[in-house]
Amino acid sequence: MRFSPPLLLLLLLHFALFSGNAVAVAGGGDLRGDAAALLDLKAALGCRPGALRSWSSANAGAVCAWTGVRCAGGRVVAVDISNMNVSSGNAPVKVTVPPSLDALETLSLAGNGIAGAVTATSLPSLRHVNVSGNALTGGLDGWDFASLPSLEVFDAYDNNLTSPLPPGAASPPRLRHLDLGGNYFTGEIPAAYGDMPAVEYLSLNGNNLQGRIPPELGNLTTLKELYLGYYNVFDGGIPPELGRLRRLTILDVSNCGLTGGIPPELGGLSSLDTLFLHTNQLSGAIPPELGNLTSLSALDLSNNALSGEVPRSLSSLTKLRLFNLFLNRLHGPVPEFLADLPRLETVQLFMNNLTGRIPAALGASAAPLRLVDLSSNRLTGVIPNTLCNSGELHTAILMNNFLFGPIPRSLGTCASLTRVRLGQNYLNGSIPAGLLYLPRLNLLELQNNLLSGDVPANPNPSTTSPSQLAQLNLSNNLLSGRLPATVGNLTALQTLLASNNRLSGEVPAELGSLRRLVKLDLSGNALSGPVPAAVGACGELTYLDLSRNNLSGAIPEAIAAVRVLNYLNLSRNALEGAIPAAVGAMGSLTAADFSYNRLSGRLPDTGQLGYLNATAFAGNPGLCGAVLRRPCDGSADIAGGEVAPAPPAGGTRRGGAGGEIKLVLALGLLACSVVFAAAAVLRARSFRSGDGDGGGAWRFTAFHKVDFGIGEVIECMKEGNVVGRGGAGTVYAGRTRSGGAIAVKRLHRTRTTAGAGGNAGAREEDRGFRAEVRTLGSIRHRNIVRLLAFCESRDANALVYEYMGGGSLGEVLHDGKRGAFLGWEARYRIAAEAARGLCYLHHDCNPMIVHRDVKSNNILLAGDGGEARVADFGLAKFLRGGGGVGGGGNATSECMSAVAGSYGYIAPEYAYTLRVDEKSDVYSYGVVLLELITGRRPVGDFGEGVDIVQWAKRVTGGRREAVQGIADRRLGVAGAGAGDEAPADEVAHLFFVSMLCVQENSVERPTMREVVQMLSEFPRHAASSSSAQTSPSASSSTSPPGGEESSPDGKGPPPPAASCGYKFVPDLLA
């Protein structure tokens, strides 16, 4: 039978349409199945209301248009809902990707804060999985990697995963990228991880792994990037087998406890671009074979125990940008080849034993040199005048050497400079013109040299570019002439130190333009004329020292306008007239010295001067008053013929006004305690008479891996579980159903609503409180108590912390909890660990977190002999009227806000500023150090109005050699007890650090970063160094080019492994 062409065409068209409809029907069925599976996935994720709104059964026919969904060939092939904040955060979830999505190739749930577990099995097409940046818990046992034969990428970075690493993760034959970093995996790296034939990227950093690095990793011949450091603590050294990884471009095994030498076999890594081995315990010489790494651009071997000279073979590394060898035991010269490396940007060799000269041509090549730090060596010779030839140099740190000769003139025109530290050398000649006025300069230190000539004036006074200079130190030189008026143009200046020079002329009135100035020290010069009244315009000034000059005239009353001034020294001048009554009435002064002038008249009988020692006024025969035991003619200064005894503290008022202030504070605290107790009783009654949960429904938010819910938290909050009460609330200890121990801190709050309208301001502060809690919940540091969860209801908030079984330092140290006695090793370790925790809060959190209540009772111990962790930080500012805790305000919260801190730990400046900052925490930490040294409480053992700081200073005179007079006799410090446990030099060093921390003037206290450095770098005795050694987990990342911390690929080490207790920072003002 033959068909006509038109009929044949009609039949073919009909067949095509029928086939097309059949395909569409079949495909539609598969898509509907995929849509149903995605709806199951959405339900399992427990999405917050409004999340993934397009994912709905009503819209199932348009599944390919759903948010984050991509289709191909009539099937769903990709689901990418990264960073969409889909999680409700209410409770952990358990999600299994439906096997019916058998065409799925890509699954990305990253950055959603999903808590619980996500698993997948039997997905033969799945190639790419990204679940990073969540709060997943448990292990990866639910993943059947063997049933994922197409898997190429598996990224679970930055979660809360635990248990040993799953060996099966290495089974997919096509796996190229495996990232399990930033978790809590334990145990050893499975040897099976050395059998991944296609892997190019392997990251296991930032976990709690132990054991040896398996040599089988040397079989990964396709590997390009390997990250194993940060928080892991491996045994042994670097396997020589890693030298077989010829395609490797990045090798980072930093900060993971490695010992032994650097294997010469690493010189075979011909493709290597980045080699980071810093912050380990590697020893021996740097192998010359590293000179074969001709592709290397970043080399960091810092913070080890490497010795010998820098091998000349490294001159072959012509692509090198970063060269870090600081904090080792290297000797010999600074290698000349550094001047010939054409791409060098950063060179840091500080704190070694290097000798000889700085290469004369350093900076002369086309290299974009940006950072040079050769400080704290034994270098001699002159500073090369080519350092800034590139025009990009921003940091030059050469302090603590034996350099001589002039400062190169070229530095005075180096507009890129931001930090220059040349102190503690033998530099001579004059200061280059323009150096002080460079547009980007923030810090200039030239102290303790032999510099002479004038302090240069601004060579371009008409410039409109504002100065950035904040810190200028010219002390202890031979500078002469006048202090130029153009110094007043340095409007960003906070510290100006020019003491012990030969400056003459008048103090320029233009200093009054320095409105941000905090410390001014021009003592020990030959300045003449009056004390400028313009100083009164420096409203932030806390420290003013003009002593040992030739100043004359009257003391200007305008000084009293500086409301925060706490140190004033005008001694040994030729000042005349009376001390102004307004100056005497300054409530901020804690120390003053007017001695050896020509002052006369009656001492003001109000304010703070009456609390100073008579020596503060010696050498002024014209002065009279009770403090001097010298009555004024016809006066009634001395009632009843008796002279009020002067306080014993020379030149300060800590023993007088300080005691009075502390008495007021004590009475305030007593009143607070009464109010707190009454409030606690009322709250307890309300709690018992309510519905058992403190009033209304509770909302539960977990920040870490947890095996409990709100019901178990509420069960803990019973009167029988109370372990402590405070102004902010009540602390309960309890156990979860799985046997885990938790501590619940229930914070009181009053209702912020009145009817339906509520209080908008209180709600806004509630949001601020929640945001702060979320920030605190994200903190991961082994010396900070972990905030596990946050619970809130209408009437109360509750913070759930990990339970610290060892109790508080205060309990163990002072109450002998469980009969424990803290030996010296434990005390030094606790001091270092607490410092690292505070350092992290101050320097590695953005924004900075100020603790506000540092004390021994807020340093908790993790079981017998466990680590010390800082507790109760960051929320003190909310524990007052209003906000997330106080609601509309009440007597309890208002009383709480009256005193920030605990009696005996409060920094002296708080008495007149009522403000706290990170230096307030440093003071309180210094008090804790004194507790560790003496075994005494901060108050109560030293007489009325005397605290541990005053007592320690009085007994020792602040001299470290006298620490035996105050040391805890149970420690057996030589000469202070019967035992022989605590080395005297270590106790003296800890005392020295404590005295720095409790300086009267906050600007003179160190930062917590500097404290960590001082405790970590002190050479301890062999018997003690093992137990008090800084743990590898508390050591540091490095500084890549440009001085910014980063990782090679933007992932690298987890964010918590930052600087505090981790990086030994040579630039102490960083």
Contacts of 714 (CB under 8 A, 6+ apart): 692, 693, 694, 698
| Residue (of 785, 789, 788, 780) closest to 845 by Cα position | 780
Given 155, 521, 693, 853, the catalytic residue: 853
Rounded (10°) angle between helices 984-997 and 918-934: 150
Sort residue 1047 into left (φ over 0), alpha (ψ -120 to 50) or beta: beta
Task: Tally DSSP H helices, then E strands, for the chain.
Answer: 15, 52
Q: What is the C-alpha to C-alpha distance for residues 771 and 777, in angstroms, rounded to an integer?
A: 10
Q: What is the C-alpha to C-alpha distance for residues 112 and 134, in angstroms, rounded to an integer?
A: 6
Strand 208-209 with 378-380, pairing:
unpaired
* DSSP 3-state of 31: helix
Residue 872: active-site member: no
* DSSP 3-state of 994: helix
Residue keyed to tokens 């409301």: 563
User: What's phi and psi for 754, nearest 5 deg?
Assistant: -135, 100
Six-digit token string for 650: 């020379």
Contacts of 390 (CB under 8 A, 6+ apart): 363, 366, 367, 368, 369, 370
Contacts of 777 (CB under 8 A, 6+ apart): 701, 703, 704, 787, 789, 790
Query: What DSSP letter does each residue of 628-645 carry, written as one string?
Result: GTBPPTT---SGGG-PPP
| Residue (of 437, 435, 496, 497) closest to 467 by Cα position | 437
| Residue (of 873, 946, 961) closest to 916 by Cα position | 873
Count CB neighbours of 511 within 10 A: 23
Residue keyed to tokens 């950055």: 111
Q: What is the C-alpha to C-alpha distance for residues 520 and 534, in angstroms, rounded to an integer?
A: 13
Count CB neighbours of 1056 within 10 A: 20
Q: What is the C-alpha to C-alpha distance for residues 594 and 627, in angstroms, rounded to an integer?
A: 13
Exposure string for 58-78, b = 16+ CB within 10 A, e = fewer: eebeebbebebbebeebbbbb
| Residue (of 740, 149, 741) closest to 732 by Cα position | 741
Q: Cβ(160)–Cβ(705) under 8 Å?
A: yes
Q: Cβ(89)–Cβ(113) under 8 Å?
A: yes
Q: Cβ(441)–Cβ(418) under 8 Å?
A: yes
Give Cα 841 distance to the centre of its chain.
Answer: 5
Vertex 254: Cα angle to 252 and 258 (nearest 5): 115
* DSSP 3-state of 265: helix
Question: For residue 237, what is the DSSP state?
Answer: -
Question: Would you name the residues annotated as active-site residues?
Answer: 853
